[in-house]
């Protein structure tokens, strides 16, 4: 009798958001029913780490649906602003947390959540304040508006111990420039999940855009 297939193993818990995948799609969902087909399209295109922004009512249900039904995905919560959202997201199955900014209250909630997290910064002082609190990995938001690659390159001089996931205004054209920086671990963005493609449930287009995005980092990026 042939041996039974090995039991499906869950993807191991990530220890760092920045090392999950070079490109993290930021997803805004209006219908929780779109979450699973959308996540499947992103995973099929080569983008397993998916940030669901807590900006719309179905976000937490969407996180739960993806966590339960898409084993290849590592789903996280974005736009996390309160300790309550931290708790709800992790209970729903979020494997990482991302915030556009931070306070000490939010940081403490993220710290005790047991999952990796990226608090958001956009100035050198905010970076220094996080380093002072023992946090070295952060989101740089809003990346393009706050100074883009030139700003991040400037931070790398005095603050080389900080590593970033720039997000906000990044495109398929600009992502490789961010990914080439020594202090960038990954980039986030919504360009591979355009609102009209999600509204039209055009998952083939999402998969194609995801595949292009996944390929952006394939050319000799050292991490
Ligand atoms: O809601 C949040 O907390 C955010 O994270 C904002 C996101 O970073 C952007 O929505 C993604 O940026 P775009 O690629 O410019 O769409």
The rounded Å distance from CA 140 to ligand 1 centre is 11
187 — pLDDT class (breaks 50, 70, 90): very high
Structural domains in the chain, sorted by start? 20-214 (3.20.20.70)
Q: Which residues line ligand 1 (CB under 6 A)?
A: 26, 53, 55, 78-79, 100, 141, 167-170, 188-191
> What ipTM was assigned to the predicted interfaces of this complex?
0.94
Distance CA 170, CA 189 (A): 6
DSSP state of 34: G
Q: What is the pTM of this model?
A: 0.92
Q: Which of 115, 55, 107 is nearest to 82 (CA)?
A: 107
Q: Which of 8, 91, 75 is nearest to 36 (CA)?
A: 75
207 is catalytic: no
**pLDDT greater than 50 at residue 201:** yes
Q: What is the mean pLDDT of the chain?
A: 92
126 is catalytic: no
pLDDT tens string 25-47: 999 999 999 999 999 999 999 99
Which residue CA neighbors atom 2 of ligand 1 most closely? 79
Distance CA 163, CA 16 (A): 11
């Amino acid at each position: 009798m042939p041996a039974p297939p090995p039991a499906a193993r869950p993807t191991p818990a990530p220890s760092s958001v920045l090392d999950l995948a070079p490109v993290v799609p930021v997803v805004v969902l209006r219908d929780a029913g779109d979450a699973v087909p959308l996540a499947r399209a992103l995973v099929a295109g080569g983008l397993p780490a998916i940030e669901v922004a807590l900006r719309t009512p179905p976000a937490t249900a969407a996180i739960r649906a993806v966590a339960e039904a898409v084993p290849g995905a590592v789903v996280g919560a974005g736009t996390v602003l309160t300790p309550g959202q931290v708790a709800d997201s992790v209970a729903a199955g979020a494997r990482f947390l991302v915030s556009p900014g931070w306070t000490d209250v939010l940081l403490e909630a993220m710290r005790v959540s047991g999952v990796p997290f990226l608090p958001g910064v956009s100035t050198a002082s905010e970076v220094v304040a996080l380093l002072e609190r023992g946090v070295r990995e952060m989101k740089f938001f809003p990346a393009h508006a706050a100074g883009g690659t030139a700003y991040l390159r400037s931070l790398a001089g005095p603050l080389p111990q900080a590593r970033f996931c720039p997000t906000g205004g990044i495109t398929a054209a600009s992502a490789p420039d961010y990914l080439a920086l020594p202090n960038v671990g990954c980039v986030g963005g919504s360009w591979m999940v355009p609102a009209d493609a999600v509204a039209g449930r055009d998952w083939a287009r999402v998969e194609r855009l995801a595949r292009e995005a996944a390929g952006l980092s394939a050319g000799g990026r050292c991490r």
